[in-house]
Structure 1
């Protein structure tokens, strides 16, 4: 098949972009012709020949008007539509809120639901500002177009919760939305030398062996619950140490840690390109987010054999077997509940976690994921072909 993938900022390392890069490469390895539409892109191969890519995609640069974020989003959506309307693709698969696609992957969730959930942490009156903010109005307008009857042929949600949100807010029929969980590169995060990795991390942080190492990974600390994690840390018996990996303004969280008296029990690393050593050395992964369609960091932690404590509203909580490979937080703003779930998580044995994760991780391989994606592609391609035959006299 000739397949167009849409991602505004394309890179083959890091987060959602790495997913698109891996999908493109895996599709190419199965013999499909791939073109990626993006406004900017950067690949490892551009940084030097030592990490040359096994797959070099055809990259189509989409022009974007410079200016406020809402204007950039609109210009990307209209520009990529114009470019794609002139081409002949078996499948157009978008990972952005755009205006022309066969399949839309709702990897960022449902913006309408996010605005509802963020009221829990926003100051009074902020909700009114959101309703008139041109960025939110733009995202809601495009989202409404996508989920309309003519917006796309199929929607991919990365969790059952995400599917339910789309159906609730936009009335999209059940049979139009496929739940396809994100895959995880299991070998990249698994570790057969846990003790050695832990000792190395303790030494790096200057901590004693009896310290319980809690790991938080995620940029955008407000939504992902770092403040709640710090408040929970203050309720834990020492020695417990929280490692916060990710990009955001650190000053507010340093001040919060100081006010809670845990400034010496938390390490802020900033963004890190390779988080695997932290997964392999930590004792528990904590992620009390207030909204997350499906957090890849949780399944990366699972692949490393860590107990995971995360919020019910995180789609990745659907991978948690309560008390077997982690615990689910019902109220991500309740430090007492989070602290209790952390204590319980630290008591789960590694063998118990491995047993619980075995069948789950087998369903999160790239092979299984790609089989599901290609089944959907073939169904959509056949539907498009049938429509063309009906139109052609």
Structure 2
């Protein structure tokens, strides 16, 4: 099968949705399919090398204009020569349209919003362009499927657009079980960060740490013993400013690493994964943390879609609210002091990983592709 994969940027270091695409295309390529990537950028450090056609859009344009130009050029570039066009971008080119984030229409027309902000959205060319792109993306046609990456996204899509003519598949991200951690990797990584080998290290991996709950993590850290530290991988300017403004006793126990595609050593160096996110349609980072054997603390739905896929207390600890720093601090203390709880969570994590294996995700997509091709042939 010849597959065109359309994504803004291809590579693990760009974020969870992008990492989803890389892992899925890896499985499909391994299964014998021909995959061509259409993207604005292909990470040269990505270990998966596929045929690539660049879609160039000048950065001089504002974001909403770039989005329309990208959609137009992607549609033109993929209109012939492929059995399936699989898109992760807003636009109208895809046979399969995978929705990773809160739908534009849900955000601007369904969820509560200040009346003035909603009124101003109607004459806004920016908002209307995004709404128009998404409306074309959702439009029913033969051989077309919209796929949600979580039950939360599926619910939001149906609230925004009503019942879909075809069933709305929900295919959450997968994960590969990490190889057994080598003790020397943990030691070496901690040494590189200047960390004592015996302290408790909490990890947060995010392209935008502020949205993933960094302020709550810092507040919780202030309530925890001095031998608890926090490592933030993916720290941007906003995250550094937030840490700089924290009390000295907190600031000196926070360690920042810039965005990188090589995250595995940091998972291996950590003891607990903290994810009090404010906005995650799914949340691949905590799932990936589980693959490295880390106990996970995360936000509940609707702030974190992944919370709908774990049994609270058995497979992860789930907060009652992402901004309850005292609750996060108590959860960290429970995990670091209760060996029985850690063992219980470890056993639960194995069940989560079994449910989210990438080969199973790829199998579900291939079933969607087969249904699409059957419809196209029939019409």
| TM-score relative to the length of structure 2 | 0.86
1:293 corresponds in structure 2 to 281
Separation (CA, whole Å) in 2 of partners of 1:133 and 1:200: 52
SS of the aligned residue for 1:20 comes to: helix
Q: Which moved more, 1:27-36 or 1:129-138?
A: 129-138
* C-alpha distance 374-184 of structure 1, shift in aligned 2 (>3 A): same
Which one of the candidate residues 328, 340, 343 is aligned to 1:338? 328
1:29 corresponds in structure 2 to 30
Which one of the candidate residues 132, 139, 144 is aligned to 2:135? 144
SS of the aligned residue for 2:257 comes to: strand
Separation (CA, whole Å) in 2 of partners of 1:217 and 1:314: 15
Shift of 1:12: 6.4
Contact preservation (8 Å) 2:313, 2:345: no
Separation (CA, whole Å) in 1 of partners of 2:122 and 2:212: 22
Separation (CA, whole Å) in 2 of partners of 1:163 and 1:68: 29
* C-alpha distance 222-315 of structure 1, shift in aligned 2 (>3 A): same
Q: Answer yes or no: is 1:102 the counterpart of 2:95.
A: yes
Q: Answer yes or no: is 1:154 the counterpart of 2:171.
A: no
2:251 corresponds in structure 1 to 263
Structure 2 unmatched runs, 5+: none
2:351 corresponds in structure 1 to 359
Separation (CA, whole Å) in 1 of partners of 2:247 and 2:109: 31
Query: Which whole-Å deviations, capped at 9, do the CAs of 1:347-390 have from their partners, x for residues lacking one?
Result: 36443233112222122222111111101110111112112xxx
1:391 corresponds in structure 2 to none
Separation (CA, whole Å) in 1 of partners of 2:262 and 2:94: 33
SS of the aligned residue for 1:43 comes to: coil
Shift of 1:338: 2.2
Separation (CA, whole Å) in 1 of partners of 2:197 and 2:227: 10
Contact preservation (8 Å) 1:167, 1:174: no
Structure 1 unmatched runs, 5+: 46-50, 388-393
Separation (CA, whole Å) in 2 of partners of 1:4 and 1:142: 19
1:4 corresponds in structure 2 to 4
Query: Which whole-Å deviations, capped at 9, do the CAs of 1:221-278 have from their partners, x for residues lacking one?
Result: 222111111112112233211111114214421233237x411121112223311111
Query: Which whole-Å deviations, capped at 9, do the CAs of 1:288-308 have from their partners, x for residues lacking one?
Result: 111111111111100011111
Query: Which whole-Å deviations, capped at 9, do the CAs of 1:299-339 have from their partners, x for residues lacking one?
Result: 11000111111111212223432222321123112222222
Contact preservation (8 Å) 2:143, 2:376: no
- Aligned CA-pair RMSD: 3.1
1:48 corresponds in structure 2 to none
Shift of 1:340: 2.5
| TM-score relative to the length of structure 1 | 0.83
Matches within 5 A, 1:1-393: 1-11=1-11, 14-15=14-15, 16-44=17-45, 56-57=50-51, 59-65=52-58, 66-85=60-79, 87-113=80-106, 134-150=125-141, 153-173=144-164, 175-187=166-178, 190-193=179-182, 196-249=184-237, 250-258=239-247, 261-312=249-300, 313-346=303-336, 347=338, 349-387=341-379
